[in-house]
Amino acid sequence: MIRKLEDFLTNWKHESDSTFKIFNTLTDESLKQKVYEEGRTLGKLAWHLVVTIDEMIGKTGLQFSATPHDAPQPATAQEMAEAYKESSNAMVQAIKEQWTDETLLEEKDMYGQTWTVANILHILTSHQTHHRGQITVLMRQAGLNVPGMYGPSREEWLAFSGEAPE
């Protein structure tokens, strides 16, 4: 639960760092990976995380410069990683400058519903975690190593101890 801005900022630091690790592991070729023919590509899912920062947080009235929610997907993984980092950093800086703990209680219209700013921040984080999970499956299918986010990944365990837990 987000009761203070610092609650969100501390959590977002870990979550955005984890997402940035994922972005830095992607290759241009891996962006084409799909689970099934009609499914989103790894690139579309990754880009969705980038533009959601503007799309969701922009509805709160926070003034910041992020990749616009309708921006076309770039061709390279590096461009996506840079756009994510810039948008995330701009959002964090703007929150620190423009909001107080009381802002978290403000109600905003989100998708035809009324959400508090605290709920918007919670859902932004959960949404990112949800899609990051989908991305890691596609990364495995594309032959990429998945970095650990809440502890070591299989590859990190192997490098650390020589065997991964079952």
SS3 116: strand
* Nearest residue to 128 (alpha-carbon basis) of 3, 13, 7: 13
Angstrom distances, CA of residue 156 to CA of 30, 72, 81, 94: 20, 34, 22, 35
Which pLDDT does position 6 carry in this prediction?
Answer: 98
Using a pLDDT cut of 90, give the percent of the chain over it.
85
> Helix (H, G, I), strand (E, B), or coil: what is residue 64?
coil
Higher pLDDT pick, 152 / 130: 130
Amino acid symbol at 10: T
Beta partners for residue 107, in sequence order: 116
- What residue numbers bound the domain in which 39 lies? 5-161
Domain-embedded: residue 166: no
Give per-residue pLDDT as tens, 72-100.
999 999 999 999 999 999 999 999 999 99
Q: Above 70 in pLDDT, residue 162? A: no
**How many domains does one find in the chain?**
1
Q: By the 8 A CB rule, do 131 and 45 touch?
A: yes
List, for residues 24-67, the tens digit of each pLDDT value: 999 999 999 998 889 899 999 999 999 999 999 999 999 999 99
- Distances from the Cα of 119 to the Cαs of 7, 55, 108, 109, 158, in angstroms? 12, 15, 10, 12, 38
17: CATH: 1.20.120.450
Identity at 139, one-letter amino acid code: M
Q: Please indicate, yes or no, if residue 82 is contained in any of the structural domains.
A: yes
Whether 79 maps to a domain, the answer reads yes
pLDDT of residue 158: 80
